[in-house]
Structure 1
Amino acid sequence: MAVEPTGLPAAAEQTRIHNIGYRRYDGPRLGRSYATRSLFSQSLRGAYGLGRSAKSKVLPMLLFAVMCVPAAIIVAVTVATKAHDLPLSYTRYAILLQAVIGLYLAAQAPQSVSRDLRFKTVPLYFSRPIEHRDYVRAKFAAMSSALFILTAAPLIVLYLGALLAKLGFADQTKGFLQGLVSVALLSLLFAGIGLVISAVTPRRGFGIAAIIAVLTISYGAVSTVQAIAYNQDSTGAIGWLGLFSPITLIDGVQTAFLGANTAFPGDIGPSSAAGPVYLIAVLGIIAGCYGILLRRYRKAGL
């Protein structure tokens, strides 16, 4: 008895090959350096919510405004009262608003790297694979640049306002440049610390809490112990205690090398022997954070 095949002719009739328009790419392949710059640009834009949802823009833009509004108020008061100098120095501004900077870092550093680690992917397609050092370099530069924009913008407002108030051009320019150097170091230091913490804790919520805790607890503890040392006339220890908090490290560096007024109790800054130690500590932490990130992403396989 002959058995007819069942279903085969019908299946063959239903088989189709569709041309959906894919074409071979014949354009230039720009290599790893271009991919690194693209990742840097995407990460920097993302730090301010650009290219993301509307609600992602609210917090970074709000914190940016919070950083700039006090500078605008200072300028308005200076112009209105015809003061002979700004009531707040350029190097002191970021120190006083360090809580805002810390909150911005806690919000944006985990967003920059935590999801990549958690899902083992990046939000860009590359025609050529990038290496882990390219990823680290792009993310570190983007976070540092985002922090520099946040901290340098109010200094620009202060500087332009000082010129509008017809204050001394030479003195204001010198103070402005000193402030830029200070916030550049602060941006590199904070970016390194924030990214390392975020890379160790891929869960974004843990990263936010850990960054706030590290910055807040270290500053609170150092400030408390410095105040105790000052009240007990142990003034020699005040300068050395500042080595144990990121923000007091920056305070010590700008006091020792940029001629800034310190925020330490009793206006007692680092001694001549402690000044170089502050600078070495800041540069060492920045380099150490970069090295830790390289090691972390080498193991992660991104």
Structure 2
Amino acid sequence: MPPETVTQQRADVIHNIGYRHYEGPRLGRAYARRSLFSQSLRGAYGLGRSAKSKIAPMLMLAVMCLPAAIIVAVGVATNATRLPVEYTRYAIMLQAVIGLYTAAQAPQSVSRDLRFKTIPLYFSRPIETVDYVVAKFAAMASALFFLTATPLLILYVGALLAKLDFADQTKGFAQGLVSVALLSLLFAGLSLVIAAATPRRGFGVAAVIAVLTISYGAVSTIQAIAYEQGTTGAVSWIGLFSPITLIDGVQTAFLGATSAFPGNYGPDTGTGLVYLLVLLGLIAGSYGLLMRRYRKVGL
């Protein structure tokens, strides 16, 4: 046999190197969605990341809870007959901390996937655009709800320890939870839309701060000017143009909250319906924009 034939026969040998088909359980989209949600939620507080990544979110959580703990301590020590702060007002008072936390964590949640172009890798598995968007949206909203509801829980427990009226405190606590749940959905949606627009984390942080925090200062200033000039009817309508004043208006109209608007000129029930529709529209619109964005980048 010619040498060329022997060489060709040896080159054509198929070797069994031990590859086998996967025979374990196939967990599917639901498991992938839950895993992405869990990983994103943990990442919002630096869990599973470096120690440096935990400092900022944990510090902001402590800043959110510290005033509530002080209020409780003073109330118990002085046998107070009522809490000095309404449950629905607490998040409004600390909106700057909430805005900074959101600005820091929303870009962290989505910008790296965009920057390193890993989105198509997610969608190469049994996961679709809706799964990615729902998991990220739910994780950011859950992280914000934990940030805003924890101090309310401290206030509620402290009020019960101070032996304040159980029914009144439970009602106020429930109203506060509804308020911060709406705030969490709104802030999560707006911040993720902004952060998903750019792979640059710094740009995302600055844009989220501008929309969530600077807008509140601008709207509050314009409301104060309108109030001083006697145009009190415009005060409640101006509140539609800032996320935090939008929450303030909804809880004033429907949750029995005291308005933080100048002169307490919060919206009535009719205007409150407009506030509620705008709020729900922004949440739904944010979800729709995220779906549209990730259908493009996932190609």
TM-score (norm 1): 0.91
The within-5 A match list for 1:1-302 is 24-121=21-118, 128-301=125-298
Unaligned runs of 5+ in 1: none
Q: Matched residues, percent identical?
A: 77
Cα 1:133/1:233, change in 2 over 3 Å: same
Partners in 2 of 1:117 and 1:132 — Cα distance? 14
Deviation at 1:201, TM superposition (A): 1.6
Partners in 1 of 2:219 and 2:123 — Cα distance? 45
Cα 1:18/1:77, change in 2 over 3 Å: farther
Partners in 1 of 2:50 and 2:276 — Cα distance? 40
Partners in 2 of 1:123 and 1:298 — Cα distance? 10
Partners in 2 of 1:278 and 1:110 — Cα distance? 27
Q: Is the Cα contact below 8 Å between 2:87 and 2:172 reproduced in 1?
A: yes
- Superposed CA offset, 1:2-44 (max 9, x none): xx99xx9xxx9xxxx996x876431111111111111001000
Q: CA RMSD in A?
A: 2.1
Unaligned runs of 5+ in 2: none
* Amino acid paired to 2:94: L
Deviation at 1:268, TM superposition (A): 1.2
* Amino acid paired to 2:207: A
Cα 1:187/1:113, change in 2 over 3 Å: same
**Count of equivalent residues:** 289
* Amino acid paired to 2:288: G
Deviation at 1:216, TM superposition (A): 2.2
- Superposed CA offset, 1:184-228 (max 9, x none): 000000000100000012100100011111122211111001001
Task: Give runs of ≥4 in structure 1 deviating > 3 Å.
Answer: 21-24, 122-128
TM-score (norm 2): 0.92
